[in-house]
Structure 1
Amino acid sequence: MTTSLTRRVSALAAAALVSTLALAACGSGDGDTPAATNSSGVTLITQGKLKACTHLSYKPFEFKDGSKVVGFDVDLMDLVAKKLGVEQEVVDIEFATITSGAAFAAKKCDAGFGATTINDKRKQAINFSDPYFDSTAALITKKDSGVTDLASLKGKKVGVQTDTTGQEFAEKEKAANGFTPVVFDDLPTQLAGVLAGRVDAAINDNGPLLDYVKDNPTTAVVKEFDTGEQYGLMFKKDANGQKLTDLTNEVLKAAVADGTYNTIYKKWFGVDAPK
C-alpha cells in the first residue's frame, strides 16, 4: 500500500505529527501497563502486548471482519507476537504517521504493517523487515468505461490513495498520458469513487484491486505495471527496533521454511505463494 502501494507527508508535516503524537502519548492516561523488556531482549510499549499500527481498510491485507481486524499482514504479525510470547493489539492510525516514524516516536506502536512498499525514502525514517510480498501497481475501472491502459485516460480523472506508491506512480505518468489524479484518503473511498463515476479509473496495488473485482463484477483490473515493489513490516529506527526487526526476519524465514507462510498466503489469496 504498496507499500504498497508514496504514502508520504512533507518533512514539516511529519515533524508536526511527531510533536502532536508525542504530546498525546505523554498525556494519554490509557491505563496500559508500562513498557517491559521481553525474554527475547525486546522492549515492548505495553507489557504482554505487541502493539501494531496500520491504516484500515486494505483488504485482504488488513480489514475489519465484524469487530475483529484480520488479514494477511495481521496473520504474519501474529507469528511475531507468538515468538515474543505476547498477543498482538492492532492500532488503526493514519498511514503517514507510520511511514514517517511519528507513530513510533509517540509510542503508539511497537511495529507497523500495511502492505507497505520498501523504498529508500521510508528507510530514512523507519526500519523494514526483509521483503515478504512482491507487488506491483494496477489500473482498475468499470467494465464499460472504455479505459484499457494509461494512454486511454487522456482527459479523464484517476483516483489515487494519498501517501501511496500508487499516487507517486500516477504523478509521474499524468503529464505523458493527460489524466488528472484525484486523491482519496483510503482504499474504500477510492474504489467507491470508481463505482460512483467520480473518477474514471484508479491506481493502487494489484493485490487489493484483484481482490475487489471478485466481489464487484462491474469492475475490472485492465492493466498491471511492473513496478518491482516489495512489502516490508515496519519498526522504529533505533536499537530496540533493530532487535525487533531481526527477530521478525527470523520469524519470516522460519515461516517460509516450514510452510506456515504458504498456508497463510493460500488462506487469503486462494493460491500457493510464488516460489
Structure 2
Amino acid sequence: MKVVCTSGVFSRRSAAGVAAAGLVLTLTACGTNSGSGGKVEGIGLVSAVDLTICTQLPYKPFVYKDGGKVVGFDADLLSLLAKDLGVEPKFLSIEWSQITSGGAFAAKKCDIGTGAMTITEERKRAIRISDPYMDATQVLFVKKSSGYRSLADLTGKKVGVQSGTTGQKYANSQAKKYGFTTVVFEDLALLTNNVKSGRVDAGINDNGVLYNFTKNNPDTAVVDEFRTGEQYGFGADRKGANGAKLLAKLNAVLAKAKSDGDYDRLYKKWFGVDRGE
C-alpha cells in the first residue's frame, strides 16, 4: 500500500501536563520518522507508518497491556484496519474524556479512539462514530461475600464508577432512588481493586470487562444486569471529511470480518464463547 508523506503541525503533551499547553513540533520530514503525518488511500493519518489509536488502559479484554504489547478484542479488530491500510497499529493511553470529547483528534494525537465505547447522542455530537460492532449493558459488581444482590441492598453504601463512562451516568441516575453514593475512579483497575479491597461496596461498569474480571478473581461476582441496551463503536475526528473517510474504511473492514468469520474467531478468542451464546 503506497503511503504519501505530508508535512504537519501538532501538539505533543507529557502525561504530567495534559491540561497545560504542550510543546509544539513542526514536522516536515518523511521516511522513518513515525511522527510525520501521511496519507493512505486518500486518508490522512497522524503518522506515515502507523494507525495511531487512542484508548485508556486497561480495559480488559478489549484493550490492555500484556508485557509490552497492547492486546484485546478492540485491539485485534483495529489491527485488521491497520493491515488493510498497510500500516502498523500504535496505541496511546490517554484520559478517556480526551477521546469522547474529540480533544484527542483535534490535537492530532490519534486517528481512532477505542475502549468499548458506548455510542451515545452526546458523543455523536463531539466525534464521528463507526457502525456498532458489539452489544453491551451495565452490571453490578461486588465482593462475593458481601451479600449484596441488587441496588436495593446498597442504601447508605458507596458504589464505585469509572469517570466519563455510561456506567457512571447510569449509577448517578439511580443513586437518589436507592440511596447510595457514587465514588468516581479514573480507570477500571482502580474501580475493581477498590471493590475487592472493600473501600467501596460495589461497582457499576460494562458487562464484558466485569465478567472477565470475575473469571480471574473468584472472590468477586456480577450479581445484577440492568439491560441498558448499549452498543459499542470506534471514534474518529468529526471535523472535515478525513474522519468520515477513515470510518468508512473501518466499517467496510468490520463488515468483511463479520462475513468471512474473522469477527467470530476473535470474539471466541477474547470472550471464550461463540457470539450469541
Q: What is the TM-score when the length of structure 2 is the normalising length?
A: 0.89
Q: How does 1:154-165 map to 2 (within 5 A)?
A: 154-165=155-166
Q: How does 1:128-139 map to 2 (within 5 A)?
A: 128-139=129-140
- Matching residue's letter, 1:232: G
Aligned to 2:104: 103
Aligned to 2:25: 27
Q: How does 1:85-234 map to 2 (within 5 A)?
A: 85-234=86-235
Task: Give 3-state SS (helix, strand or coil) of 1:159's partner.
Answer: strand
Instruction: Report the alpha carbon displacement of residue 147 of structure 1 after superposing the two structures with TM.
Output: 0.7
Instruction: Report the alpha carbon displacement of residue 246 of structure 1 after superposing the two structures with TM.
Output: 0.5
Instruction: Report the alpha carbon displacement of residue 138 of structure 1 after superposing the two structures with TM.
Output: 0.3
Instruction: Report the alpha carbon displacement of residue 73 of structure 1 after superposing the two structures with TM.
Output: 0.3
Task: Give 3-state SS (helix, strand or coil) of 1:112's partner.
Answer: strand
1:176-223 C-alpha deviation (Å, 9 max, x unpaired): 001000111110110110111101100000001000111111111000
Aligned to 1:12: none
1:159-182 C-alpha deviation (Å, 9 max, x unpaired): 000000000000000000010001
Which stretches in structure 1 are left out of the alignment for 5+ residues?
1-19
User: With CA pairs under 8 Å and 6+ residues apart, which has the higher RCO, 1 or 2?
Assistant: 1
In structure 1, how many angstroms separate the alpha carbons of the residues matched to 2:65 and 2:35?
26
Task: Give 3-state SS (helix, strand or coil) of 1:138's partner.
Answer: strand
Instruction: Report the alpha carbon displacement of residue 22 of structure 1 after superposing the two structures with TM.
Output: 9.8
Which stretches in structure 2 are left out of the alignment for 5+ residues?
1-17, 28-32
8 Å CA contact retained: 2:128, 2:235: yes
Runs (4+) off by over 4 Å: 20-23
Higher strand share: 2
In structure 1, how many angstroms separate the alpha carbons of the residues matched to 2:93 and 2:256?
28
In structure 2, how many angstroms separate the alpha carbons of the residues matched to 1:58 and 1:36?
29
In structure 1, how many angstroms separate the alpha carbons of the residues matched to 2:146 and 2:178?
17
Instruction: Report the alpha carbon displacement of residue 146 of structure 1 after superposing the two structures with TM.
Output: 1.5
In structure 2, how many angstroms separate the alpha carbons of the residues matched to 1:163 and 1:149?
23
In structure 2, how many angstroms separate the alpha carbons of the residues matched to 1:221 and 1:54?
25
8 Å CA contact retained: 1:54, 1:114: yes
1:77-119 C-alpha deviation (Å, 9 max, x unpaired): 0011011111010011111001100000111001110100001
The number of residues matched between the two structures is 255
Task: Give 3-state SS (helix, strand or coil) of 2:65's partner.
Answer: strand
In structure 1, how many angstroms separate the alpha carbons of the residues matched to 2:155 and 2:19?
41
In structure 2, how many angstroms separate the alpha carbons of the residues matched to 1:224 and 1:28?
49
Task: Give 3-state SS (helix, strand or coil) of 1:37's partner.
Answer: strand
Alpha-carbon RMSD across the aligned residues, in angstroms, is 1.7
8 Å CA contact retained: 2:34, 2:49: no
Aligned to 2:11: none
Q: 1:172 to 1:44 in 2, by over 3 A?
A: same
In structure 1, how many angstroms separate the alpha carbons of the residues matched to 2:150 and 2:263?
33
